[in-house]
Structure 1
Amino acid sequence: MNLSLRNSMLSVAGLVMAGGAIAGPAMAAQATPAERAAASVVSEQGKGARKAGYEYEAQPNFYYCGPASTRIALSADGKAVSQDELAEKLGTTVNGTDSAIDITRVLNEYTGGKYKTTEISSDEASKEQVERLRADVKAAVDAGEPVVANILGGAVDVDGKEHSYPGHYLTVVEYKDDGNTVKISDPAAPDAPEYWMDITELANWIAGRGYSS
């Protein structure tokens, strides 16, 4: 975790609601028919690796990260719900979506109660919380149910690229290395919508907030 970056982002977090809105718009990406057809597929990628089939769609404005991430997760269950419909159910405003609890509530409305909320209340995730996240991601992706995470501040992916938001939601859609490395589907980054991240880095990115799995 880039602590200096995280601390600098924490200092501006008051500009948005705790749930997440980002500083600039992203244009919606279009999925191919093949991608849509694969939306409900869960496939083996190798030993200690699994991927949930899903349909990516970018958020159309700076505050729809909650609806967009929820839509990505639901697409793995074969459900194509509009972001506007999800935003209404989530109570999303220009200040974002309040918390992971709202994401879980709406995911459960469409999936029949498959999701739960887990909070990482401390500023830094403990070893136990990292392990809990790893286990939750593996169980969720194995079941074809991507995880929606509520994050704050900055984090660095496995390629050394920094990603920072003053509040944001994103979706975890794949894992490898027995869950120690996970793939993020980021609705705010249509030009580079996927990146891999160490599970500890992700847990610390979520720290102070929570996730739906």
Structure 2
Amino acid sequence: MERKHFLKSLLLGTASVPVLLSACGKESETVTPATGTDGATGCCSVAPTETEGPFPTKAPASYVRSDIRDGKAGHVMTAKITIINANNICAALAGALVDIWHCDAEGNYSEYGGGGMQSTNYQAVHFLRGRQTTDANGQVTFTSIFPGWYSGRATHIHVHVYSASGVSLKVTQIAFPEGTGSAVAAVNGYGKGLSGYTTNARDNVFSDGVGLELATVTGNTTDGFQLAITFGVAA
């Protein structure tokens, strides 16, 4: 899998004014020369491409909604994702379609199961999957629950970004901070703890680095969590 040795990460939070990196790197996957509509040039880090499987949403356009919980129990989490355009000096990308999906508190996905990788059969339900369109600030917001974990993977959220016309721009994943004081530690795997948990450093997707995929996560188990991340795409 082609990945990154990037120069700098973008930490935009919820700001509507994009951050411009001062120098370009050599790897086109993650650092793209950019020219703005005003002729200014600069560089933006592009999110790394990750696997979409093995549990992608089967009909994403059917789940246009911001609250994706569908009654699933767990600590409430608000996820704010900002999409910027690496081909336009990090400008906010309005009108992009953003799909997300992740497992429940027990580590299970909707739309799958009944054998193989997931014994619990959730083929007939669609929890923790949704689509939103970015606003003028390039942002979408989802209400979900804090993801659980399953064997072989660190806590994560899948993200697929499309143009307004439906052209795929990026498939990637969101990683979570770990260790003492982190939300992952506070949630403690819900009922099953963290014994056997796969850390980001040992995860087969994140082990080569999470600099461009690591979210900022704040909050607590009483009041809920807030997740924020910015992804650059070449649109």
TM-score of Structure 1 vs Structure 2, range by shorter chain: under 0.3
Which has more strand, going by share of residues? 2
User: Normalised by the size of structure 2, how large is the TM-score?
Assistant: 0.26
Higher relative contact order (CA 8 A, sep 6+): 1
Which has more helix, going by share of residues? 1
